[in-house]
Amino acid sequence: MTPAAEAIAGAEGGARALGVALQDGEIVIISTRPHWSGPLYTGLIPTLGLGLVLAALSAARPAPLSPRLAGAFAALALAPLLASVFRYSLRRYVLTDRRVILRDGLRYRQVPLSSVRAVMVDERLAEGAPGDVTFRTDQGVMIWARSPEAVEAARIASDAVRRYGRG
């Protein structure tokens, strides 16, 4: 059993921590989330842009903003960042000895290891850098977007496909 699997098995509520139900005897090889920088890229830029627009609109007003209106503007400006962080908290990538799983909120997509034909990552990525891990399968493509340590995750996934997926 891998250290990650031992940690999950020993944790209170084990499989609930993954957000997916494990089958009897299934071994977790990788369980991770997208890299933490994802919400910054998808949420911070719109938040800053919207904040600047709202600041310009409030500066153009002849009278100062009321605290209530200023609070509403601030909440509106923070909405894209908060939505991005919330979505990040619901996303999880899981690789077991039987399946590749992408969980996004209440929905999840799973592919048996036996249907994975290739595991790819951008060769230009530095070791330890976040990136996309792409699984080419019989059912199409599954992408673990902004996976932390993408090169290592792809290597581990390729090894798992060779070891467990051809049965």
pLDDT tens profile 21-39: 777 888 899 988 888 776 6
Euclidean distance between the first and the last CA atom of the chain, given in angstroms as a whole number: 19
Q: E strands along 8-124, which residues?
A: 28-32, 91-96, 99-104, 107-112, 116-121
- Which range has the worst mean pLDDT, 11-20, 54-63, 112-121? 11-20
pLDDT tens profile 95-153: 999 999 998 877 889 999 999 999 999 888 888 888 999 999 998 999 998 888 899 99
Pairing of strands 140-147, 131-137: antiparallel
C-beta of residue 133 within 8 angstroms of C-beta of residue 116: no
Give the domain ranges of the chain: 3-32+90-164, 38-87
- State yes or no: pLDDT of 57 exceeds 60: yes
3-state DSSP assignment of residue 44: helix
Alpha-carbon distance 104 to 149, whole Å? 20
Taking all residues of the chain, what is their mean pLDDT, rounded to a whole number?
Answer: 81
The CATH code that applies to domain 3-32+90-164 is 2.30.29.30
